[in-house]
Amino acid sequence: MLGNNGKIDGFSGINPIESKEELIKIYPAKVARKRAKHITVYDREEGDPPEIEANVRTVPGIITQRGCSYAGCKGVVLGPTRDIVNITHGPIGCGFYSWLTRRNQTRPPSDESENFITYAFSTDMQEKEIIFGGEKKLKQAIQEAYDIFHPKAISIFATCPVGLIGDDIHAVAREMKEKLGINVFAFSCEGYKGVSQSAGHHIANNQLFKHVIGLKNEKNDAKYKINLLGEYNIGGDAFEIERVLEKCGIELVATFSGNSTYEGFANSHVADLNTVMCHRSINYVAEMMEKKYGIPWTKVNFIGAESSAKSLRKIAAYFDNAELKAKVEKVIEEEMKEVEKVRAEVKAKCEGKTAMLFVGGSRAHHYQDLFTEIGMTTVAAGYEFGHRDDYEGRRVLPTIKVDADSRNIEELEVSADEKLYSPRKTEAEIEKMKSKGIDFKEYEGLMSDMAKNSLVIDDISHYETEKLLEIYKPDIFCAGIKEKYAIQKMGIPCKQLHSYDYGGPYAGFKGAINFYKDIDQMVNTKIWKEIKAPWETEPQLSARYGSE
């Protein structure tokens, strides 16, 4: 293991319990009590991670990083697919704001190939539709989208008013599907459902499973076939992962959903293993595919060079083929040469520095590996929309209480498909693999990897972010664009992990190199120190000479 896990440099003087108090003391008593449950200090020596409150509604008036279920459904899960026309059913704002907002890249095979990512269709509801219903307009919009593009599939996303005025978007979808002879399906992802984007992920998973996965049945003769779930091709990550897998001779049937296509989804059930990157947003599909088609799933992580190597080895071990294993080792060896060279240079300059990560539902975990590789310690981290299992591990699943906000999100009843179910491994084989350390249906959660006494904060508020920065003054803070400029106003560099600040890729081996270099540049750059005017730094200069 790299880095200095266990020993925490750089913030030894700060008592995490006191910092927790500091973060919440301004709140009214009731709110403080609530927020206290979302903040834990993990003392590794005390066994399992402590319970953290997560996936509950944000207190009104607390400025959150979270978005809505529409954002999770349309923006995150379906957004990166290039050949489905997405129509937002609602007033103009939601569709406009989710128009090519993430830097989801895609690579159509040719200039003429379908790519609708740059389009934002909306029914642009007006008062008339709010009063009299918007189904008619929705039908027309679907027809128009069809007339312009003749796509294979059209999907419809509901925004807040839709559920309230009682539009039956699923009936509209069925009718238009019949009429146009293409696949049309809808998502009831109204923003008020659930407590964050996470509800939208679940809704997206359900509908993809119901309406797309398994529709096609094209034979695929490749020897080692996998799907990659929960990878959204931010900054071209998917391209790098695709490159590495191809080099190893592993066939990627479908990615959900970076650089993906409708056909890929439809045929994804022919894969022999589902590998899961972002557990939060896509574990439902993995679970359901296992039940229906008999495809096991395992957690992987292609963020971090070591983690990528580990993930590749896991895939090779699953297929249990000597040739594949040798190939994977060779690729790792080749790729690691350059990685190690850059890492050594960067590590020398970054060792001992501290990072904080507050983002998403898996990124705040995955990126810790990259920081560890260059000797930096993550002193505080948390998710925007994670659940308890994403923090504490899936072993807590049976004990999670489902509250009113999540109860209304449909849980699909799934059973084995009469024709297509075929268990890829026997139970005995699975058990044997488990005994060799290959885990299935398992995710350890973020806390398992964090340093002793680090702070874990769920759904951190804007206010808490500011306080945290004040107390810890980390060398870098990872978040999204909403936080970026506030953090930088305090002189601390902020790396965006939703868009990579238009850098990247950061996945795989080449991505790790990019990340090391970018982080080096950010934490060691002079700008952050020279921001102070000369008359402000001078007195401090002399003080520093004295103490150093």
Partner 1 sequence: MEKKTFVSTRNACKLCAPFGSTLVFKGIEGALPFIHGSQGCATYIRRYMISHFREPVDIASSSLGESATIFGGRKNLSAGLKNVMKQYNPKMIGIATNCLSETIGENIEQYIKEFQSNDKAYSKIPLVGVSAPSYKGTHQTGFHEAVRSVVKTLVKRKGERKKLLSILPGFVSCEDLRHLKEILEDFGLDYTLLPDYSETLDGVFWNEYRKIPEGGTPIRRIKEMGMSKAVIELGKSLLKSESAGSWLSKEFDIPYYNLPLPIGIQESDRFFKTLEKVKGFPMPEKYKKERGRLLDAYIDGHKYLFGKKAVIYGDEDFVASMASFVSEIGVIPVLCASGEDRLKETLKTLIDPKIMDQIEVLPSSDFMEIAEKAEVLKPDVFIGSSKGYFMARKMKVPLMRAGFPIHDRMGGQRMLHLGYKGTQMLFDRLVNIFIEVKQETSPVGYSYI
Catalytic residues: 68, 71, 102, 201
Nearer to partner 1, 163 or 294 (CB): 163
- Rule CB under 6 A: which of 191-230 touch ligand SF4? 191
- Rule CB under 6 A: which of 84-113 touch ligand SF4? 90-94
Q: Which H or E run includes 161?
A: helix 160-165
Q: In angstroms, how far apart are the furthest CA atoms of the chain?
A: 80
The single residue among 175, 482, 501, 517 that binds partner 1, judged by CB under 8 A, is 482
- Rule CB under 8 A: which of 117-136 touch partner 1? 118-127, 129-130
The single residue among 17, 164, 420, 543 that binds partner 1, judged by CB under 8 A, is 164
If one asks whether residue 63 binds partner 1 (CB under 8 A), the answer comes out as yes
- Rule CB under 6 A: which of 142-161 touch ligand SF4? 159-160
Nearer to ligand SF4, 94 or 120 (CB): 94
The single residue among 2, 36, 41, 165 that binds partner 1, judged by CB under 8 A, is 165
Nearer to ligand SF4, 20 or 201 (CB): 201
Contact between 225 and 251 under an 8 Å Cβ cutoff? The reply is yes
Contact between 65 and 483 under an 8 Å Cβ cutoff? The reply is yes
If one asks whether residue 481 binds partner 1 (CB under 8 A), the answer comes out as yes
> Which residues sit opposite 299 in a β-bridge?
276
The single residue among 52, 56, 68, 309 that binds ligand SF4, judged by CB under 6 A, is 68
Contact characters 399-438, partner 1, x per CB under 8 A: -----xx--x------------------------------
CA nearest neighbour of 200 among 85, 361, 332: 361
If one asks whether residue 140 binds partner 1 (CB under 8 A), the answer comes out as yes
Size, binding site for ligand SF4 by CB under 6 A = 10
Contact between 220 and 430 under an 8 Å Cβ cutoff? The reply is no
DSSP strands (E only) in 80-231: 84-89, 121-122, 153-158, 183-187, 225-231
Distance between CA atoms of 290 and 277, rounded to whole angstroms? 16
If one asks whether residue 28 binds ligand SF4 (CB under 6 A), the answer comes out as no
If one asks whether residue 39 binds ligand SF4 (CB under 6 A), the answer comes out as no
Helices (H) and strands (E) in the chain, counts: 23, 14
Contact between 88 and 120 under an 8 Å Cβ cutoff? The reply is yes
Helix, strand, or coil (residue 230): strand
Helix, strand, or coil (residue 2): coil
Query: CB of 203: closest distance to ligand SF4 in angstroms?
Result: 12
What are the two backbone dihedrals, phi and then psi, of residue 431, each rounded to the nearest 5 degrees? -60, -40
Query: CB of 292: closest distance to ligand SF4 in angstroms?
Result: 30
Query: CB of 530: closest distance to ligand SF4 in angstroms?
Result: 40
Distance between CA atoms of 421 and 401, rounded to whole angstroms? 32
The token pair at 26 is 């301004």
DSSP strands (E only) in 143-207: 153-158, 183-187
Query: CB of 16: closest distance to partner 1 in angstroms?
Result: 21
CA nearest neighbour of 295 among 211, 229, 201: 229
Query: CB of 86: closest distance to partner 1 in angstroms?
Result: 12
Among ligand SF4, partner 1, none, residue 253 binds (CB under 5-8 Å by kind): none
Per CB under 6 A, residues contacting ligand SF4 are 68, 70, 90-94, 159-160, 191
